[in-house]
Structure 1
Amino acid sequence: MSTPTTRDTGGRPAVNLALATWVSAINFWAWNMIGPLSTSYAGDISLSSTDASLLVATPILVGALGRIVVGPLTDRFGGRVMFIAISLASIVPVVAVGAAGAAGSYPLLVVSGFFLGIAGTVFAVGIPFANNWYEASRRGFATGVFGMGMVGTALSAFFTPRFVNWFGLFTTHVIVAVALGLTALLCVLLMRNAPGFHPNTDRVLPKLKTAAKLRVTWEMSFLYAVAFGGFVAFSNYLPTYIKTIYGFSAVDAGARTAGFALAAVLARPVGGALADRFAPKYVVLAAFAGTAVMAFVAIFQPSPDLWSAATFIALAGFLGVGTGGVFAWVARRAPSRSVGSVTGIVAAAGGLGGYFPPLVMGGTYDSSENDYTVGLSLLVVTAVIALVFTAARLHAHEPAPSAKEPTP
């Protein structure tokens, strides 16, 4: 089945890719509503480091696991329906988080944060949606551009604390909820599935079982858990890290976290484009090598503001390039009828990769020395393991396997 090019569809791929990227951005903003305010919640409700870490990590976990189902549902119903459904379904949890925060209730915040994870499943929709609109030689670019929807985490980190100062806590969440509703309406009016899209009406569980039998699914899941997981973990936990280590206010910590997220967002399409030009393997290798080096530098707590900013922005850049490279690799190697299912599992692995680091960082924080040496050291080790695995076990050029014939 051929995939339409920009020329033979009158430019619609660009329009739909831009819309998909916006939907991703606003849902990522919603998904990250708790992280930028976690230090304020910790002070107002007197939370321990572990409690605050759990609060930050809960939406990440649900957003990760939900992608396993959302991916194959996208194969069946198409990206347009799923983008609308996720945007609408995220409205109530956003408002609920605002109400729980305003009431100062930690249990309600955790429960509301659980359902807030729905917004994080949006990523599993965009990859097959972008794949359907672009030919194979342009899919690294397309998935990289869609991945720029991660800018929603930067928008949340920068604007959420400021909106709270300007409009109040609950009103800020209402504003984001309204933005989600308008985004869904925009999709209804303007978004379309690619002409070459054909619904895969196979049942979800068999499709997931088929995808789970493919070697590519688990190889890419591991790599994405390190690359995207690292990004998600830092974009959510960095406000706490910066305030704890350097003593910045919640607003200033949010601004610096926004810089980290923006660097990763801008680097992601670069990783995808480089993967189109060169083999994705070499892009991923460079990303993991850079991640290991910059995480090692971070252990020594570079002085604010120049050196710490340079360290974390460089770390974000390598993680962003890695995420773009990994998903360009997925687009090349996943069977065409199983892209959504494979994407769902791989995207879930990425989300899960972001779930555990905040818990580890909070649990291993040394209050007597005011450092996160253990947590950052584990990131170095993990990046090195991913580097060695990619170099030794994965081939630079490998055709996509048949969805019906699992690779041994």
Structure 2
Amino acid sequence: MAEAMKTASATSAVPDLRGGLGQVLLATVASTVGFWAWMLIAPLQNIYTTTMGLNQGQVSILLAMPVLVGALGRIAVGALTDRYGGRRMFTLVLLAGVPPVLLVALAGSIGSFPLLLVAAFLLGIPGTIFAAGVPFSSAWVAPGRRGLANGVFGMGMIGTAVAAFFTPRLLRLIGYLPTHGAVAGLLVVAAVLVWLFMRDSPAWASSSQPLLPKIVGTLKLAVTWQMAFLYAIVFGGFVAFSTYLPKYLMTIYPDQVEPVGAGTRTALFALAAVIARPIGGVLADRFGPKVVSLVSLAGIVAAAYIVGQEPPEGIVTGVTFLLMASAMGLGMGAVFAWVGPSTPPERVGAVSGMVAAAGGLGGYFPPLVMGATYHPDTNSYWLGLWLLVLVGAGALVVGGMLRDVRIRK
């Protein structure tokens, strides 16, 4: 009798995680919309350059602005998700992304670069959605499957590919203002769907710790800095190339690549990373996140070296960028599979926010560096690309020195 009661008590203590896959997929769809809004300016940069007479430096600053807020805002969003849950934070972030999208439309229609910079700064808000999704998705699965869950949720970054592919085409089809109105409408629809159908995991428990002490405490954890550094390379590189690749291709290969073609290539780059991300999570669940992260970093370094040689536009360039994106995707899945088992459960959201912020900041500086190191006489970005090679090699060394974790099934 006592044994039966103990068994029943143990069974009742296990949270019911049925329906978790559906919840993770809903979060992925919502994240896709948020990422589309976040990357709304990059596919249309050529229009802004032409109509506003922007130079390399101004374009670089414009592209970096959404990344900056999307990065720093993730720190607060991750910590707030620990307290208020994913459903509330997803809804809030999606709705808060509507005004910046409409402000971008206004700035572009009147040709005001200062207003466009302000709008680009605020457009980083929907980019913070990632920090809400990682703790939300992690709470819906058993510890041994969190690499897969975070990899599936991370596929929401396909919104960058959607932005690159569809935004210029929508512009041609329905016009500038209607295109931005459509994106704003999608944000509202996604927010309504989240509020109606998303629910927080029964395994999730609200953290009552105040925001500032929580952030300070998170900064004291070694895992925060270790994972932040690695993620700044893998995700930061992805964000940087997703925003700057159209500009890079049209500058280095002006006779072969036009705006729609550049958008298509950027979309394929993002798609390759999206597909590789859950694979990285699954491989990390099986073989450990350290080895997958090291393979990822080695691939990034090799691909960046080839790109740095600026080969002729064609098969070699296309394959190299796809391999680089795939390596970045594997690393993204592996690093966040590393975060969960290395972090106290009550701090997963806060640490995820910090790591995600580092990834965003990793994508903030490269466009600025590329713009600053561009050589107009030789039409070359070789110095910026060589810096990526060196930083990636340093991350490979650091990653090799970290302790691996084995994820409990």
TM-score category of the 2 structures, normalised to the smaller one: over 0.9
Q: Could you tell me which residue of structure 2 aligns to residue 246 of structure 1?
A: 253
Query: Structure 1 residues 285 and 6 mapped into 2: Cα distance closer, same or farther (>3 Å)?
Result: farther
Q: Deviations over 1:302-336 (max 9, x none)?
A: 22221111010100000111111111001121110
Identity of aligned residues (%): 50
Correspondence 1:278 to 2:268: no
Q: Could you tell me which residue of structure 2 aligns to residue 160 of structure 1?
A: 167
Distance 1:128 1:4 in 2: 23
**Equivalent of residue 187 in structure 1, options 181, 194, 200:** 194
Q: Could you tell me which residue of structure 1 aligns to residue 177 of structure 2?
A: 170
Aligned partner letter, 2:184? A
Q: Deviations over 1:284-311 (max 9, x none)?
A: 0000001000000001222222111101
Is the 8 Å Cα contact of residues 40 and 250 (structure 1) preserved in structure 2? Answer: no
Correspondence 1:397 to 2:402: no
Distance 1:361 1:43 in 2: 20
Q: What SS does the corresponding residue of 1:239 show, helix, strand or coil?
A: helix
- Across the two proteins, how many residue pairs are aligned to each other? 397
Aligned partner letter, 2:173? W
**Equivalent of residue 317 in structure 2, options 308, 313, 320:** 308
Correspondence 1:72 to 2:79: yes
Query: Structure 1 residues 398 and 145 mapped into 2: Cα distance closer, same or farther (>3 Å)?
Result: closer
**Equivalent of residue 108 in structure 2, options 98, 101, 105:** 101
Q: CA deviation at 1:196?
A: 1.5
Aligned partner letter, 1:173? H
Distance 2:20 2:11 in 1: 11
Equivalent residues in 2 for 1:213-232 (5 A)?
213-232=220-239
Task: Calculate the TM-score normalised by the size of structure 1.
Answer: 0.95
**Equivalent of residue 318 in structure 1, options 291, 311, 327:** 327
Q: Deviations over 1:212-268 (max 9, x none)?
A: 110000000000011100000000000100111112111110010000000011111
Q: Could you tell me which residue of structure 1 aligns to residue 394 of structure 2?
A: 385
**Equivalent of residue 290 in structure 1, options 299, 317, 321:** 299
Q: Deviations over 1:345-400 (max 9, x none)?
A: 11100000000000000111111111110010000001100001111x20123799
Distance 1:95 1:6 in 2: 46
Query: Which stretch of the first structure deviates more once superposed, 197-206 or 175-184?
Result: 197-206
Distance 1:302 1:102 in 2: 38
Distance 1:50 1:334 in 2: 40
Distance 2:12 2:99 in 1: 37
Is the 8 Å Cα contact of residues 3 and 196 (structure 1) preserved in structure 2? Answer: no
Distance 1:287 1:259 in 2: 18
Query: Unaligned 5+ residue runs, structure 1?
Result: 401-408
Q: CA deviation at 1:207?
A: 0.8
Q: CA deviation at 1:97?
A: 0.4
Is the 8 Å Cα contact of residues 295 and 376 (structure 1) preserved in structure 2? Answer: yes
Distance 1:373 1:245 in 2: 11
Q: Could you tell me which residue of structure 1 aligns to residue 336 of structure 2?
A: 327
Distance 2:127 2:46 in 1: 21
Distance 2:37 2:334 in 1: 26
Is the 8 Å Cα contact of residues 26 and 180 (structure 1) preserved in structure 2? Answer: yes
Q: CA deviation at 1:130?
A: 0.6
Distance 1:203 1:83 in 2: 20
Correspondence 1:360 to 2:349: no
Aligned partner letter, 2:314? D
Q: CA deviation at 1:3?
A: 12
Alpha-carbon RMSD: 1.8
Equivalent residues in 2 for 1:54-133 (5 A)?
54-133=61-140
Equivalent residues in 2 for 1:129-144 (5 A)?
129-144=136-151
Query: Unaligned 5+ residue runs, structure 2?
Result: 1-9
Q: Could you tell me which residue of structure 2 aligns to residue 406 of structure 1?
A: none
Distance 1:280 1:52 in 2: 37
Q: What SS does the corresponding residue of 1:202 show, helix, strand or coil?
A: coil
Aligned partner letter, 2:158? V
Distance 1:41 1:205 in 2: 39
**Equivalent of residue 23 in structure 1, options 20, 24, 30:** 30
Query: Structure 1 residues 7 and 346 mapped into 2: Cα distance closer, same or farther (>3 Å)?
Result: closer
Is the 8 Å Cα contact of residues 71 and 341 (structure 1) preserved in structure 2? Answer: yes
Q: Deviations over 1:105-128 (max 9, x none)?
A: 110100011111101100100000
Task: Calculate the TM-score normalised by the size of structure 2.
Answer: 0.95
Q: CA deviation at 1:54?
A: 0.2
Aligned partner letter, 1:397? V
**Equivalent of residue 261 in structure 1, options 252, 261, 270:** 270
Larger Rg: 2
Q: What SS does the corresponding residue of 2:123 show, helix, strand or coil?
A: helix
Is the 8 Å Cα contact of residues 295 and 315 (structure 1) preserved in structure 2? Answer: yes
Aligned partner letter, 1:138? R
Q: Could you tell me which residue of structure 1 aligns to residue 355 of structure 2?
A: 346
Q: Could you tell me which residue of structure 1 aligns to residue 382 of structure 2?
A: 373
Distance 2:13 2:377 in 1: 59
Q: Could you tell me which residue of structure 2 aligns to residue 404 of structure 1?
A: none
Is the 8 Å Cα contact of residues 341 and 405 (structure 2) preserved in structure 1? Answer: no
Is the 8 Å Cα contact of residues 4 and 134 (structure 1) preserved in structure 2? Answer: no
Aligned partner letter, 2:111? G
Q: Deviations over 1:125-159 (max 9, x none)?
A: 00000111011000000000000001000000001
Is the 8 Å Cα contact of residues 75 and 340 (structure 1) preserved in structure 2? Answer: yes
Aligned partner letter, 1:396? D
Q: Could you tell me which residue of structure 1 aligns to residue 242 of structure 2?
A: 235
**Equivalent of residue 33 in structure 1, options 40, 48, 53:** 40
